[in-house]
Structure 1
Amino acid sequence: MVRDHTSFLQSNIKKLQKTKINEVSSNLSITKSEACLLLIHHGWSATKVDEAWFDDKERVRKLVGLLKHNSGEIVTTQTCEICFDNTVCLEKKLKSAKCGHAYCVDCWKRYINEKIKEGPHECLKPMRCPHPSCEASLEINMIRRFASQQNRKMYDRFLLRSYVETRKNIKWCPRPDCDLAVRYKSDGNYVNKYVEVSCRNGHRFCWGCGEDAHRPVSCEMMAQKNQESGDSKSLRWISTFTKKCPSCKQPIERNGGCMHVTCTVCSYQFCWLCLSDWFLCSARCNRF
């Protein structure tokens, strides 16, 4: 029997991601770091990047913050615009992004590490120059160079997840302790349709709803059965205080009355009330 899906290691996904970055970099004659930023902005679609770029290249550059100056340039005659510590600046020198705003290495490290800790919606949207009125993006290489080892791994994980979340035929295994993914051979939409798959670790789950394998029951019937068979008091508690993260589908418990929730698994920030991206709906839902 031919399997209709393949278990994927993170290294497999990184190869697909790298191929996509190289493709855009070659087609547009830009750096791989710039290609990565463009792909993130356009949902990892090389087609959308090409269309936007050839329609109005300068508009895209401005929108994503891609300037044409040399990035990471060493500056020796200025003072860090954050700490204003001349001693530190003279010893370690200053570095600038493409915009030319100069900061010392310590301030760059502090700024970049804090942005990564705030989650993917802060460090991937993209990460901008610290200057309040500057929209220049920081290149991927610069971010990785100044990030701590732990935060560099976190940043790379955010990049990888941002790619997978845009692929209709790739999903992460829903087990919290598993970092494998599954690629389905068809690009069809299987939401709420039972299709059993398994990762290399043997975790069987439904492609359609993300729950444990439940053949031959449909996703709708399984959800109804679980609701009917559970203790009503527990279900009310779960319904009130827990919801699935819209990004990674892991159950999230709500603490307190704030509608702004951050997933502890993937750091996705969303609105508890409507489950939308927090930065898209906070103005509307924050009134409740």
Structure 2
Amino acid sequence: MSDESDYYMDDSASDNYYDDDDDEMVDGTQDSDRESSPASEGEASDDDAFGVELSAAALGKVKRKSYEVNFETLSDAAVDRLMNKEAEHVAGIFGLEPSTALLLLRHMAWNKERLIEKYMDNPEAVRKDAGILAAPPLAPTSSSSSAGVRRSARRANSVQPSAPPSTPFMCPVCCDDEPPNTYALACGHAFCSTCWETYLHTKVREEGEFTVRCMDSDCKLLADDAFIARVCSKEDSKRHHELVSRNFVGNSSQYKFCPLPGCSYTISCPSAASKSSLMTIVPTVKCPENHVFCFGCSLDQDHRPLICHVSKLWLKKCQDDSETANWIKSNTKECTKCQSTIEKNGGCNHMTCKKCKNEFCWVCMGPWAEHGNAWYTCNRYEEREGVEARDAQSKSRASLERYLQYYNRWANHEQSARLSLDLYSKTEKKMEEMQTTSNLTWIEVQFARKAVDEVFKCRMTLKWTYAMAFYLAKGNEKELFEDNQRDLEKAVEDLSELLESPIDPDNIPVLRQKMTDKTVYVLKRNEILLDDTAQGYLDGRWKWNADAAILNEAE
């Protein structure tokens, strides 16, 4: 990947796209420094595996699917330009220097509109709160140039090491009375270069602070980027710049960093910037390193077709102790007198609470004294206090069984998806075997790898369909959803079985055609399910059960 390239379009977007504001065709290429992402190149090779050649013109007419979102990948340099553009805009409005505007924007968490409003109302108060020197008084036009010289000189004194003082100087921190260099911000509080370097290193590296104030305990003046870059090491300066960039991206709803460790790309997805939009779309994006994640909740996987709010509910249900409590309710009972939890460890229904010595029947929860000589069975029917306990027990057990029904299938597809990745190595060997036993070229045997790719993607889709089905309210819409789910599941299992089957050297052409057909069918079934689900969100067709009923009100 070229370092000069700052912008990358997502693999599902075309070179030309429609601008929502003016409805005219806009060229999606960012000058000459834009290049296609690896994902785009990989998908082109997948098309070749089926013997399909798509021209550039044809690719430009590909319509984005209803379950996809437009997004853009930004490099570090592109993020820098966005920050500088914001600073230049503010600087132009108030006649400030860009470095000062940057400090003000960070102070306001990059909320430009709020900064403009506050600064116009009381600029002195804003500058004071932000740790910036008060603006110099307005000078006559004739002397404006000399005022600029004075400000430049003052800035130079804060960045350049000061000259050896004519009077004795001792660093207030380390008490060195002969420091080789001293530095001071515009406030004039001077410290030796060693103390400044140590202070900046601690703030940036150890504390992760991008806002650094003067070392004087009574001074609130901020150090600008130029001062930090001049004084500290290159590594610390780079780290400080990363912290500033992360602060900018973190305070914007339109940008997000790729959550995968070590990846520095930033994704822009304006269509998923508002919380309300996340009720109707699942903004799955991919960086140039092929890292797939959700722009809405930053989950490091594709959780389509389930929207972010419900996927969070499901993951929390799977991870916290709620199901442990459910197990306790299903496998234990409470003493009818002191409500202590009791687990049955024998066949006798005569229970004696160790805490309060209360005796009751495990089956009907009634007092044991009323059972007469029926020591090991309980065939009594009566409407008493034990009925409520039995009803609660039955509901809890049914709730647990329902949860496990969906969770086991969710976990099974997750495990199958991971095992599908192991198929890659097996498929590589099969592809080599097919080349040696037939006249097929390397490109012509790529159909097997394409099949594995589709199996993995569809396993992930099926995994999240079970989480969605758990929260869907009963009705015709849920039945149609489960029909699509069943069709996709059957198609995926057929293709998986074909991938696992041994290769007959005399039957490779038939195998190729059969596997290609099944792969295309699986791809279409997956698209049908995702498209119908996405359209259902837009139409408001999906209704949620009691576990996610709050979402019905939000819609």
So what's the TM-score if we normalise by structure 2? Answer: 0.38
Give the corresponding residue for 1:128.
213
Could you report, residue by residue, the CA deviation over 1:78-103 in whole angstroms, capped at 9, with x for unpaired residues?
Answer: 3322222122x2xx232211111111
- Higher relative strand content: 1
Give the corresponding residue for 2:132.
66
Q: Which moved more, 1:154-163 or 1:216-225?
A: 216-225
Give the corresponding residue for 1:286.
none
Give the corresponding residue for 1:15.
81
Contact 2:84–2:98 at 8 Å: present in 1 too?
no
DSSP 3-state at the match of 2:110: coil
How far off is 1:208 after superposition? 2.1
Structure 1 portions without partners, runs of 5+: 237-288
Could you report, residue by residue, the CA deviation over 1:241-284 in whole angstroms, capped at 9, with x for unpaired residues?
Answer: xxxxxxxxxxxxxxxxxxxxxxxxxxxxxxxxxxxxxxxxxxxx
Select 1:213's aligned residue among 302, 305, 308: 302
Select 1:97's aligned residue among 173, 185, 189: 185
- 2:258 equivalent to 1:173: yes
Could you report, residue by residue, the CA deviation over 1:44-74 in whole angstroms, capped at 9, with x for unpaired residues?
Answer: 1222222222211111121112125724522
- 2:229 equivalent to 1:163: no
Structure 2 portions without partners, runs of 5+: 1-62, 135-150, 326-555
- 2:171 equivalent to 1:80: yes
DSSP 3-state at the match of 1:103: strand
Structure of larger gyration radius: 2
Q: Which moved more, 1:103-112 or 1:35-44?
A: 103-112
How far off is 1:137 after superposition? 1.5
**Distance change (3 Å), C-alpha of 1:81 and 1:195:** same
Instruction: Tell me, in whole angstroms, the C-alpha distance in 1 between the residues paired with 2:73 and 2:263.
Output: 12
- 2:237 equivalent to 1:152: yes
Between Structure 1 and Structure 2, how many residues are aligned? 230
Moved over 3 A (4+): 190-193, 218-232
Contact 1:72–1:142 at 8 Å: present in 2 too?
no
**Distance change (3 Å), C-alpha of 1:86 and 1:228:** closer
Instruction: Tell me, in whole angstroms, the C-alpha distance in 2 between the residues paired with 1:72 and 1:103.
Output: 16
Give the corresponding residue for 2:289.
201
DSSP 3-state at the match of 1:158: helix
Q: Which moved more, 1:155-164 or 1:32-41?
A: 32-41
Contact 1:72–1:95 at 8 Å: present in 2 too?
no
Give the corresponding residue for 1:36.
102
Could you report, residue by residue, the CA deviation over 1:189-214 in whole angstroms, capped at 9, with x for unpaired residues?
Answer: 24575222222222222222222102
Contact 1:72–1:98 at 8 Å: present in 2 too?
no
- Higher relative helix content: 2
So what's the TM-score if we normalise by structure 1? Answer: 0.71
Instruction: Tell me, in whole angstroms, the C-alpha distance in 2 between the residues paired with 1:110 and 1:223.
Output: 43
How far off is 1:217 after superposition? 2.7
DSSP 3-state at the match of 1:86: coil
Instruction: Tell me, in whole angstroms, the C-alpha distance in 2 between the residues paired with 1:95 and 1:166.
Output: 32
DSSP 3-state at the match of 2:290: coil
- 2:282 equivalent to 1:188: no
Contact 2:258–2:267 at 8 Å: present in 1 too?
yes
Instruction: Tell me, in whole angstroms, the C-alpha distance in 1 between the residues paired with 2:70 and 2:101.
Output: 32
